């Protein structure tokens, strides 16, 4: 019997960005509405990009470290992980002198704009019992990239009135 190929179901992610550095509007206005997700300097977040993210996965674009944090839009993973050039640039805030071009320490993916949404605030997310287990809302969570379950994704889209 021949093996049948079953594609992996899409996965979902929450990716945090400070809007002063890169906002959902910046992504919408970028060439091809696509940008590299540079500057990740946490091994667990890097590993999500390297080992788990796939082209086409859904992204909740989250504005963080700002007066009104929350989900500001939707995006898609648009590339496989590849070396983040900022690690080699001494002028970059993300420069890592220990990382070498022949053995890069830091990777990133490209993300592609899907749509801007109303801001679904952190306060609203915290108040929703259906999202109580969401990794973003766990005490002490500071990761810039976290997985989102299919149920959480669907629920958030319903809160945003997106079908």
- Grade residue 163 by pLDDT with cuts at 50, 70 and 90: confident
Whether the pLDDT of residue 4 is over 70: the answer is no
Q: Confidence band (pLDDT; 50, 70, 90) for 152?
A: very high
Q: DSSP 3-state helix, strand, coil percentages of the chain (rounded to 5)?
A: 30, 30, 45
What pLDDT shows up at residue 141? 87
pTM greater than 0.85: yes
Helical ranges in the chain per DSSP H = 24-29, 43-47, 122-127, 150-159
Q: Which class does domain 12-157 fall in? A: alpha beta
Which residue, among 149, 14, 28, 133, has the nearest Cα to 69 in the 3D structure? Answer: 14
Q: Of all helices (H) and strands (E), which one includes residue 161?
A: none
Beta-bridge partners for 147 = 13
What pLDDT is attached to residue 50?
97
DSSP character at residue 50: I
Segment 14-26 shows an average pLDDT of 97
* pLDDT confidence of residue 80: 98
Measuring CA to CA, which residue among 157, 139, 159, 136 is closest to residue 15? 136
The residue ranges of every structural domain in the chain are 12-157
Higher pLDDT, 8 or 140: 140
């Amino acid at each position: 019997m021949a093996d049948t190929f079953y594609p992996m179901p899409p996965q979902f992610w929450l990716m945090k960005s400070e809007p002063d550095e890169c906002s959902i509007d910046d992504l919408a206005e970028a060439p091809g509405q696509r940008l590299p997700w540079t500057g990740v300097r946490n091994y667990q977040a890097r590993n999500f990009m390297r080992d788990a993210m796939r082209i086409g996965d859904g992204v909740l674009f989250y504005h963080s470290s700002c007066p009104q944090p929350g989900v500001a839009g939707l995006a898609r993973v648009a590339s496989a992980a590849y070396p983040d050039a900022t690690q080699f640039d001494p002028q970059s805030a993300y420069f890592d002198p220990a990382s070498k071009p022949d053995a890069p320490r830091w990777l990133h993916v490209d993300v592609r704009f899907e749509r801007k949404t109303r801001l679904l605030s952190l306060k609203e997310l915290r108040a929703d019992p259906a999202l109580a287990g969401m990794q973003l809302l766990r005490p002490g969570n500071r990761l810039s990239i976290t997985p989102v379950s299919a149920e959480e994704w669907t629920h958030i889209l319903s809160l945003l009135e997106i079908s």
